[in-house]
Amino acid sequence: MMRLLALPLIILLATSLAAEEELPQNPSEPEPLEIEPPLLIQQDPTHGALPSTPGVAPEVDLERMQVALEKAKKSAASGERLFRAGIIAKIEAENRAFKVVRLTADLANARLEVAKKNLAALQSRDAAEISQAELEQATNALAAADRDAAEATAQRQKAELDAAFVNLQRQKKLLALGSGRKSEVSRAEEKIATLQQQKN
């Protein structure tokens, strides 16, 4: 009976001795155990904006802008659902919602430019060629476009400021957890100050 118990005990002892021999003998150079947290790179909310060349007035394609706005609205609606399901991050859902606000403001400003061009084109024609009704209609369209553009621009500024405050809170939390940097917090504070100066 003792022999039956001794055999597995000897095998276990031999295996543990062989395993000890394989371990490194020089513990003076321990491997670093610190793991750096991943960088949280935030995407610029203006990423994907329509390119513009300074000094050159681009041709306004209202249909293309309207299609882009509809796609952004669908993406924002699905973004909220995907965030609740845990598929995308909250910041991605926020960026999708901000893109809708930005494209709405861009479309309203483009419509304002088109209304200005239409009124200028009417006024450049001879007074005998245009009727008073056409001129009134163009003037009313310009006033409505101006109102819509001002409202959309105000909403965009408010959304930018709200996003900047959320980003500041996020950066402060990351700094408190040890994953953030003081430079990111100060950059977020500078962004808020710049946006508040632009608003005033």
pTM of the model: 0.64
Q: Does the structure show a pLDDT above 80 at 62?
A: yes
CA atoms 59, 62, 67, 70: torsion sign: positive
Nearest Cα neighbor of 161 from 125, 124, 195 is 195
For residue 7 the two structure tokens come to 């055999």
More confident residue, 16 or 101: 101
- Segment 74-103 shows an average pLDDT of 89
pLDDT on residue 58: 47
- Segment 39-56 shows an average pLDDT of 48
- Segment 121-131 shows an average pLDDT of 79
- Segment 75-83 shows an average pLDDT of 89
- Segment 142-152 shows an average pLDDT of 94
Predicted confidence band at 86 (pLDDT cuts at 50, 70, 90)? confident
Instruction: Report the distance separating Cα 101 and Cα 171, nearest Å.
Output: 23
Predicted confidence band at 64 (pLDDT cuts at 50, 70, 90)? very high
pLDDT in tens, 103-116: 999 999 999 999 99
Instruction: Report the distance separating Cα 122 and Cα 132, nearest Å.
Output: 11
